[in-house]
Amino acid sequence: LPALYLAATPIGNLGDITQRTLDILRAVPWIAAEDTRHSAPLLARFGAKGKLIACHQHNEEAAAAHLIARLAAGESVAYVSDAGTPAISDPGARLVARVRDAGFRVVPLPGACAAVTAFSAAGFADERFLFYGFLPAKAGQRDDALRALQSTPCALIFYEAPHRILDTVTALANVLGGEREVLLARELTKLFEQLHVCRLDEAHAWLSADADRQRGEFVIAVASARADTAADDAESERVLSLLLADGL
């Protein structure tokens, strides 16, 4: 049966492609890509031979119509965004909706996603996270968005570009509270991968201490205010039980 396969591609390290995704990329006659010039060398390296079609945020509807015609002809299609999982802060959602509305199967192929990769190494007390993606570029809208997230009872995950990282950590500290724990995950899976955990009000100074720390791609994970309280509660309980054990 023909299907649209959503193929997650690496976010840096080319080894982070699954065997199943390689098998599908090598088998499908059509591969739609967010940026065909960007993905062509990668797909060639993976041994994918399907014809490339551009499908990005400005032509997603037209590309979807074209791809649905291929599916109707019995041919499967894979979709790749520039990096990581399609439709996660990337195009793909409208294509998925159109293909499903047209009655065809949509098959997600799991793989690299910067948000999940970063959160798995955060070590926060939070079990839950809210994936926000990119904050608005304008300061007023960004701060409004952050105020709306202030009392969300889970960790918050943001994507950020290097030229905005300093401003963004300052805004996060001001609006969400400087005492929260933050993970700055830079260049995940790449040569200069760096994971740094500190308080939000220490993040600006840490990033500023070395210009290299502001380079590359970032995921910012902020622990919930509640996670700090939960950690404090656990600490109080531990101290109390020690005192009780001592008969005090």
Helix, strand, coil share (%) of the chain residues, nearest 5: 45, 20, 35
Q: Which pairing describes strands 194-199 and 77-80: parallel, antiparallel, or unpaired?
A: unpaired
Q: What angle do CA 6, 11, 14 make, to 5 degrees?
A: 95
Residues forming a β-bridge with 106:
4
Q: How near is the Cβ of 185 to ligand SAM at its closest, in Å?
A: 6
In the bound state with ligand SAM, the residue whose beta carbon lies nearer, of 118 and 173, is 118
Strands 155-160 and 129-134, by their bridges, are parallel
Residues paired with residue 156 on neighbouring β-strands, in sequence order: 130, 222
CB of 203 to ligand SAM, least distance (A): 15
Output the smallest distance, CB 91 to ligand SAM, in A: 9
Amino acid at 33: A
d(CA 112, CA 189) in angstroms, rounded, equals 10
Residue 133: how many CB atoms within 10 A of its CB?
12
Name the minimum Å distance from CB 85 to ligand SAM.
4
Q: Which C-beta is closer to ligand SAM: that of 68 or that of 114?
A: 114
Summarize as ranges the residues that interact with ligand SAM (CB under 6 A): 11-12, 81, 83-85, 88-90, 113-115, 159-161, 185, 187-190, 217-219
CB nearer to ligand SAM: give 96 or 225. Answer: 96
Nearer to ligand SAM, 82 or 201 (CB): 82
Nearer to ligand SAM, 149 or 185 (CB): 185
CB of 41 vs ligand SAM, minimal distance in Å: 17
User: Facing residues of 221 across strands?
Assistant: 157, 183
Q: Which residue is nearest to ligand SAM (CB)?
A: 84
